[in-house]
Structure 1
Amino acid sequence: MARNECSVAASYYDLYANAELTTAPPSNSPANEDGDEQTLWEEYEWTAEDEQKVADQLQKSAIRCKVVPSFRVEDDKRSWDDFYGRHQVNFFKDRHYLATAFPQEFGPTCSANPCLVELGCGVGNALLPLLEDTRQRWTVYGMDLSEIAIALLKQDTRFTTAAVEGRAFAFAGDLSCGVPEPCRGVATVASLLFCLSAIPPAHQAAAARHAAATLGPGSVLVLRDYGRFDEAQVKLGSQRNRLITDNYYRKYDGTKCFYFSLHDLERLFVQEAGLDMLELDYIRRVYSNRAQQSTRRRVWVHARFRKPLDA
């Protein structure tokens, strides 16, 4: 992007490049969850002043940078089909960290005969590793907007083997419109992993209600997604033709992304979907790449919600 495209762009990059950290990322920080040993991280906390600075910058950008028009759901489906058509199964890594991130749901003491409904499953990066688990005999249901992603998932030998055993199912569909009947009420755990952010804000409440419908009484929905003031939001917010509406952007490949606050998730899943909140917090990390001599500030939201026993 040319620096004169938006007069506040430099402020964003300066904010992150020059921000003072409490401590420099230590050399013995753990590798990130994808196992990239070149990238080290440490947790950090923002002050109210830090957050206000970024909020003010985003507000200035929204005024000065051109806003793109809204898009139809059909456009979103086309964008994700194009995404998986280009990348096939090679873009995302399998999520082997679920037992660490959500030990109650995916750890060794999780329920007997567990059943996962993964919403926004893509090519199965979360559900396929569960089918490799020899300690627990998982049944998995996957749903994604992209028909190409579902077709690729069904070609994986881990899926086909489990499907023959009646333990793996996959459906193409729009979560904001509903979930397939076989997915309703069957989940001991449902997951929304970097999925809800791709749904237009006006449709997120419906998506949350439909996600809750996959849970049996007492079952838990786990969520991770992009958090407010993540560095990716800051960069998108500094560029023309990216902002669609507040905190919702069109990315370079045509897919969309919303950046959540904790209040957003409480409203969607407690007030709208009627679930009980078990856990809700930000994950804030500074990543340091030794090879590239660079740092990035990342923000995610992390949550667990339970369906009431009397639901």
Structure 2
Amino acid sequence: MDSTDGSEDSAEISACNRKQLSEEEEAKLQAQNSRLVPEFKARQLELQAQKHWDLFYKRNETRFFKDRRWTTREFEELLSDPSEEPKVMLEVGCGVGNFIFPLIEEKRNNYFYYACDFSARAVEFVRNHELYDPTRVKAFQCDITDGESLLQNIPAGSVDIVTMIFVLSAIHPEKFKQVIGNLHKVLKPGGVVLFRDYGLYDMAQIRFKPGHKIAENFYMRQDGTRSYYFSTEEIEHIFLEEGFETLVNSYAHRRTINAKEGIDVPRIFVQSKFRKKNNDGFSER
């Protein structure tokens, strides 16, 4: 499991085009094709996806990810004046609350938060958090690939902002479009999706050994969870097809540094903002 999913310990290096691979990196990616995850095993991983995430949170509880205190620096939409009219935010893949609780603790806005996760165990950790307030937060278990599951908890067209941080990569690529289509249903016209996920040729992708690759840019981790690596072109195409327009879409280069453990590794993420068009096909300006 990649322990740097939700944290970053240094400033942005650059936002640029796709990474150019070295010969050694090319060889590592080619070697991954020598032994793929068997088709039967890949089907099992899909059928047991929720089980693997529940086991992940059973094993790690709230200890694995750091609080995401970088989010307001990267996404100014998360900040608001308390005197402004309250907005509604949906966090897709809330985990144990490392995203929403820092926002609540730091009093950076006056939003009402919906927080959903595939893992019922993760949702319980959110509900048991000392800052959980049902007047400000509604946490619920949800399969985001299932539109009915989402709409049972959130009225259609009621959300101002959706955050999707290191979430879509854990879902089977064949379901990407229906996930984004479901987000489109709950967003207001002009509503925004704030997106960050693994970028193509990230260090974590290159270091996978043979036997872990499921399909192109899609991998199995040791614990049975999965990880996909996006190009900016691919994620933009998906959102545009589902009725969004692009505000920002680029590669974000970071370094994860932990001097105590001797860690200093480059990371590549895709960081984007997409806006739902109005019913007339145009966005609000």
TM-score interval, smaller chain: 0.7 to 0.9
Alpha-carbon distance in structure 2 between the residues aligned to 1:48 and 1:149: 34
88-97 or 227-236, larger mean C-alpha shift:
88-97
Alpha-carbon distance in structure 2 between the residues aligned to 1:215 and 1:289: 38
Partner residue, 1:200: 172
Shift of residue 41, structure 1, vs aligned partner: 5.6
Spell out the pairing of 1:1-311 with structure 2 (5 A cutoff).
Answer: 34=7, 36=9, 40=10, 43-44=13-14, 50-51=20-21, 53=23, 56-57=26-27, 59-69=29-39, 70-72=42-44, 73-103=46-76, 105-108=77-80, 112-134=85-107, 136-159=109-132, 162-163=133-134, 165=135, 167-178=136-147, 179-183=150-154, 184-236=156-208, 239-271=209-241, 273-310=242-279
Alpha-carbon distance in structure 1 between the residues aligned to 2:52 and 2:171: 12
State the identity as a percent. Answer: 28
Alpha-carbon distance in structure 2 between the residues aligned to 1:189 and 1:123: 20
Partner residue, 2:3: none
Greater relative contact order (CA < 8 Å, ≥ 6 in sequence): 2
**Root mean square deviation, CA, Å:** 2.5
Tell me the TM-score normalized by structure 1: 0.78
Shift of residue 151, structure 1, vs aligned partner: 1.3
Alpha-carbon distance in structure 1 between the residues aligned to 2:59 and 2:130: 21
Alpha-carbon distance in structure 1 between the residues aligned to 2:108 and 2:16: 40
Alpha-carbon distance in structure 2 between the residues aligned to 1:77 and 1:34: 23
Q: Deviations over 1:56-107 (max 9, x none)?
A: 435522432343431343311010000001111111122222211101x112
Tell me the TM-score normalized by structure 2: 0.84
Opposite residue 216 of structure 1, the aligned amino acid is K
Question: Structure 1 runs of 4+ off > 6 angstroms?
Answer: 45-49
The structure-2 alpha-carbon separation of the partners of 1:43 and 1:78, relative to structure 1 and needing over 3 Å to count, comes to same
CA contact (8 A) 2:16 2:250 kept: no
225-234 or 131-140, larger mean C-alpha shift:
131-140
Give 1 or 2 for the bigger CA radius of gyration: 1
Alpha-carbon distance in structure 2 between the residues aligned to 1:107 and 1:257: 30
CA contact (8 A) 2:194 2:273 kept: yes
Opposite residue 266 of structure 2, the aligned amino acid is R
Opposite residue 127 of structure 1, the aligned amino acid is I
The structure-2 alpha-carbon separation of the partners of 1:42 and 1:192, relative to structure 1 and needing over 3 Å to count, comes to closer
Alpha-carbon distance in structure 2 between the residues aligned to 1:221 and 1:48: 22
The structure-2 alpha-carbon separation of the partners of 1:292 and 1:148, relative to structure 1 and needing over 3 Å to count, comes to closer
CA contact (8 A) 1:41 1:287 kept: no
* Structure 1: gaps of 5 or more residues: 1-32
CA contact (8 A) 1:197 1:225 kept: yes
Q: Deviations over 1:172-221 (max 9, x none)?
A: 12111221333232211101010000001111111111122221111111
Alpha-carbon distance in structure 1 between the residues aligned to 2:17 and 2:74: 25
Alpha-carbon distance in structure 2 between the residues aligned to 1:45 and 1:307: 24
Report the 3-state secondary structure (helix = DSSP H, G, I; strand = E; otherwise coil) of the residue aligned with 1:229: coil
Alpha-carbon distance in structure 2 between the residues aligned to 1:131 and 1:49: 36
Q: Deviations over 1:13-70 (max 9, x none)?
A: xxxxxxxxxxxxxxxxxxxx9575xxx5661577878237577435522432343431
* Structure 2: gaps of 5 or more residues: 1-5, 281-285
Partner residue, 1:17: none
CA contact (8 A) 1:41 1:288 kept: no
Alpha-carbon distance in structure 2 between the residues aligned to 1:123 and 1:289: 23
